[in-house]
Structure 1
Amino acid sequence: MTTSKAAPRRVDDREAEDPQGWQFNSPLVLTMLLLLVVVLQGPIRRALSAPVMQSWMTVFVAVFVQALPFLVLGVLLSAIIAVFVPTSFFARALPRRTALAVPVAGMAGAVLPGCECASVPVAGALVRRGVTPAAALAFLLSAPAINPIVLTATAVAFPRNPEMVLARFAASLLVACAMGWLWHRLGRADWLRPPDHPSFDGLGKGVAFWGSVRHDVMHAGGFLVVGAIAAATLKAVVPAGWLHAAANNPVVAVLALATLAVVLSICSEADAFVAASLSQFPLTARLAFLVVGPMIDLKLFAMQAATFGRGFALRFAPATFTLAVLMSALVGAVLL
């Protein structure tokens, strides 16, 4: 007598495709929020009619609407560069001597639009392709701070202070080159972990392009909203006396806005409009906000740690912050 093995139990395809039980998903959350707004529309309307809230909404909408076109343009151009421009092009274009490659890579940021969210993976790709880390790090710091989109947005945000554009360009480029040279002199190979491969390797150009666009829009757009909320709150809620007390002390003003840039983590295409709204503070303090933010903030620290290793980020971030604050104060004293 022969025995046959029982066939393995197969899961019904319908069970796999339509699992039972309640699932937490974003459409359900959105529907619940809309219903809550409808139910509470009376109290919400009364709250929004208060003078403080009207002032808050005015500043929020102004900052968001002014910054949004530059954010979208920067994201599109960043995706084009990341997907369609071969990384090997940058390796061939840089001088072989590190001392010369650093300023060339720093200046390359002036012609390659993109936000800081895109500069980290591009810098990682440059290191993988053999570019000296010092030059890649100079590009990482300069690209989101001195590219055409950012400088144009700065000019639009500060129409009465055109010198702010030159000050931002000079301070950011000097910091980027100084950090590149500093890494070349003092950096150690074991501090820098080799970056992983890009997540879009092996995909078609179209898929990679729209994947990059979606990633940058979700990240940069979210941080733009947070930055607009913070700027509106500072203008409408925080007592004016507090802001004037901080703004009247030059050292405290610079340190306060530099720290605020780290905490807010605003995309570089939008930060100029937030800085312009902080009119209580002197131009030098707002320059520190614009120089520090694209180089080191909370999201950048996480991205740098994920790309190059936590040991690298723990050394690189404090040095960048310190040098950016000092350079902002120096350039601001000369140009502003």
Structure 2
Amino acid sequence: MGGGGPGGGRRLRGERIGSVEVLAALLVLLVVFREPVAGLLSTPRLQTWTTVFVSIMVQAVPFLVFGVLLSAVIAVYVPRSFWARALPRRPALAVPVASAAGVVLPGCECGAVPIAGSLMRRGVTPAAALAFLLAAPAINPIVLTATAVAFPGNPEMVLARGLASLVVAMIMGWLWLRLGRTDWIRLPHRPDLDGLSRGAAFWSAVRHDVVHAGGFLVLGAMAAASINVLVPERWLQTLADNPVLSVLVLALLAVLLSLCSEADAFVAASLSQFSLTSRLVFLVVGPMVDLKLVAMQSGVFGRRFAYRFAPATFVVAVTVAVAVGAVLL
């Protein structure tokens, strides 16, 4: 009788499988059965779509998992008092400190999203957490090293990318302090970790974040693959000669392609018909605003946040990258 009582009904409703879990399971099936599925897709466009989708997921998933693991460590093992000591009490000063912290984290944007959500849950001011979210994927050593390798004849690209990305992160953090509203952020319901051992709480947090963030990553990768197939390559060559349009084209291309920040420098280097400033815009915008990121931010912080934060970040990133490019490149 106990299992059929109200408590049992609440547990059944709470454990109901949702769309995010279905998307995560679909991702696993697509990766496991990649070869049979690819054989069924006989048309070149569908084959290209599958290749782009899988490549985005293969690039992003390891760093997403790394970010989720670090997020769980923050949620379970790091006391709230640590952040009070590590960051300045004044939010305006906490923003540049959190931005600079991105230098020491070797991860990409997919991992930074759940980490930023965990920081907010541990009491870090949203402005500092968001500044870290934007800076970490663009100024960490792995990304800067990849940029140096991709542009061996233009070492100034490394300095320009790091500086522009850091400035954008700080500006967006300060803008949030000035204009942001706490009711725009709605962190998803987390499992109750207080009654669990640290080990059980850690794996519960990992499972929750992988399922939640991973599902939205799948949606973003699907959208990016679709647009990647539909955009004709000849458009790029036609627009490359116009300084203004070339900047806007590569900014939008960075949003649509949704590349991982560890790989985008090699794509930018291959776009040799575009100016260095245009390619810098590509490298600054991509790790901060792209389709998969907007989808993941919608899942972690809520749609009201993502639909405001992403366009503002796009405008600031383009403006700062063009200004830095004009000075350094």
Q: TM-score, normalised by structure 1?
A: 0.70
Say how many residue pairs are matched. 288
Gap runs ≥5 in structure 2: 1-24
Residue 132 of structure 1: which of 125, 137, 147 is its match? 125
Measured on the aligned residues, the alpha-carbon RMSD in Å equals 4.1
Match of 2:70 in 1: 81
Gap runs ≥5 in structure 1: 1-24, 48-55
Closer, same or farther: CA 200–300 of 1 in aligned 2, 3 Å: farther
Matches within 5 A, 1:1-336: 34=36, 37=39, 74=63, 77-85=66-74, 86-87=77-78, 88=80, 89-190=82-183, 192-198=184-190, 203=200, 205=202, 238-239=233-234, 242-336=235-329
Retained in 2: the 8 A contact 1:105–1:136?
yes
Question: For residues 304-336 of structure 1, what are the alpha-carbon distances to aligned partners after superposition, in whole Å with 9 as ceiling and x for unaligned?
Answer: 223223222222111110000001100111111
- Give the % identical residues: 56
Retained in 1: the 8 A contact 2:95–2:173?
yes
SS at match of 1:279: coil
Counterpart residue identity of residue 193, structure 1: I
Deviates more, 1:99-108 or 1:223-232: 223-232
Distance in 1 (CA, whole Å) between partners of 2:295 and 2:40 is 38
TM-superposed CA distance for 1:83, in Å, is: 3.3
Counterpart residue identity of residue 264, structure 1: L
SS at match of 1:161: coil
Question: For residues 115-144 of structure 1, what are the alpha-carbon distances to aligned partners after superposition, in whole Å with 9 as ceiling and x for unaligned?
Answer: 212212221222222211111111111111
TM-superposed CA distance for 1:110, in Å, is: 1.0
Counterpart residue identity of residue 238, structure 1: E
Structure 1 or 2, whichever has the larger Rg, is 1
Retained in 1: the 8 A contact 2:255–2:291?
yes
Retained in 2: the 8 A contact 1:275–1:289?
yes
SS at match of 1:159: coil
SS at match of 1:109: helix
Q: TM-score, normalised by structure 2?
A: 0.71
Distance in 2 (CA, whole Å) between partners of 1:199 and 1:207 is 7
